Amino acid sequence: MSQILVITSGKGGVGKTTTTANIGVGLAMRGHKVALIDTDTGLRNLDLLLGLENRILYDLVDVTSGRVAYKKALVRHKKFENLYLLPTSQVKDKSAVNPEQLVTLCAEMKKEFDFIIIDCPAGIEQGFKTAIAAADTAIVVTMPEISAVRDADKIIGELGRADKENVKLIVNRIRPQMVEKGDMLDMGDIDEILSVACIGQVPDDENVVVATNRGEPVITMNGSTAGQAYKNIVARICGENVPFLKPQKEGFFARLKKLFGLL
Amino acid sequence: MLDVLKRVFGMSEKKSGAVAKERLQVVLIHDRASISPEIMEKIKEEIITVLSKYMNINRADMEIALENDSDSVALVANIPVNSMRHAR
């Protein structure tokens, strides 16, 4: 039984595309056959994060407009051979693909793939509506920051109105030291406010920038905390019950030591 | 000295994380309360159906709206009553 996931957020810059790339690679590393569809038409980036930017011949708009078969437009990953990317157009805009076209395309691709993951554009307009149309699960990515949580709430409302019942949450770029000091929303706060099942808590990790620079998602880097968090997310998507990573806590004695250090 | 003690025991003035949470909770009440005119019309019709069992109301002058205060949202209805039905 194949699954269609959409990765969405409302707000831009919270890590939708990074999340899409990492979940895609993670599922492929487990042996699943995965297709990633970039629907951020006009602002294409998923190809860069996967290191596939030089291999693109055709795009999503070529496929939905009937110019080429989808298999011709798929770009196979160099290293993970059961991972494929369907890039979008960099010259067209969001109106170039409509919801019905994406639903039809996904129904056809479902026959070939275990997972289809759709990278949604920011915003709640046409592009969002197209991206979510075919999905049976929506993963909302947010950050422990007031505007990102507000936009996540808006998106969760929109998903409800579109009758998407299966909604999951990933909280990205958590800074444990700031949470510990009380200067960042913690997971309890976000759970209470959004009340959506959380499948991932990803710490802010410099390795993500390094990985993006190289075009090799951070999930492939051993020893990276964000990479480990993404591996756990992939396990949870596959139905495994994995506990959340415990952030390093600063206790009473650490505070005392810091104080004497200050004096 | 009190400051130092507070720091040792991890107490101090309200942290920005807690401020963010409170501000979010308030703004989301307002965000979620934005109801479409169609739904508002539906709510109005259903209220009329219920009230009409007990009284004759003046539909034409009826007003119903969501009103935002600084930290709360209220559904305010002004429904003129023409006459009461006999209680059974």
Element (H, E) at B55: strand B55-57
Distance between CA atoms of A16 and A172, rounded to whole angstroms? 9
The pLDDT of residue A260 is above 60: yes
Q: Which residues, numbered 32 to 51 in chain B, qualify as contacts with chain A under a Cβ-Cβ cut-off of 8 Å?
A: 32
Q: What is the arithmetic mean of pLDDT over A33-57?
A: 96
Whether A259 sits inside 8 A of B8 (CB atoms) is yes
Taking only Cα atoms into account, the Rg of chain B, rounded to an integer number of angstroms, comes to 23
Q: What is the mean pLDDT of chain A?
A: 93
Q: Which residues pair with A115 in a beta bridge?
A: A3, A34
Chain B nearest C-alpha distance from A96 (Å): 28
Q: Which residues contact A126 (CB under 8 A, 6 or more apart)?
A: A94, A95
CA A145-A146-A152 angle, to 5 degrees, is 90
B31 vs A: CB within 8 A: yes
Contacts of B30 in chain A (CB under 8 A): none
Evaluate whether the domain defined by A3-261 bears CATH number 3.40.50.300.
Answer: yes
Chain A nearest C-alpha distance from B21 (Å): 7
Distance between CA atoms of A83 and A178, rounded to whole angstroms? 36
Taking only Cα atoms into account, the Rg of chain A, rounded to an integer number of angstroms, comes to 19
CA dihedral (A43, A173, A196, B38) positive or negative: negative
Nearest one of A219, A205, A150 to A174, comparing CA atoms: A205
> A129-167: per-residue pLDDT in tens?
999 999 999 999 999 999 999 999 999 999 999 999 999
User: Across the interface, which of B9, B23, B31 has its CB nearest the CB of A153?
Assistant: B31
Average confidence (pLDDT) per 10 residues, chain B, 88 residues: 59 84 87 79 90 90 78 82 81
Query: Could you state, in order of their start, the residue ranges of all structural domains in chain B?
Result: 1-34, 35-88
Q: Which residues pair with A203 in a beta bridge?
A: A174
User: Across the interface, which of A146, A153, A256 has its CB nearest the CB of B20?
Assistant: A146
Instruction: State the pLDDT at residue B41.
Output: 86
Q: Is A189 helix (H, G, I), strand (E, B) or coil?
A: helix
ipTM of the complex: 0.79
Distance between CA atoms of B27 and B30, rounded to whole angstroms? 5
Interface size, chain A vs chain B, as Cβ–Cβ contacts under 8 Å: 50
Task: Please answer whether residues A196 and A156 qualify as being in contact, where contact means their C-beta atoms are separated by less than 8 angstroms.
Answer: yes
Chain B nearest C-alpha distance from A181 (Å): 8
User: Across the interface, which of A145, A178, A255 has its CB nearest the CB of B8?
Assistant: A255
Task: Please answer whether residues A5 and A117 qualify as being in contact, where contact means their C-beta atoms are separated by less than 8 angstroms.
Answer: yes
- The whole-model pTM stands at 0.81
> A100-125: per-residue pLDDT in tens?
999 999 999 999 999 999 999 999 99
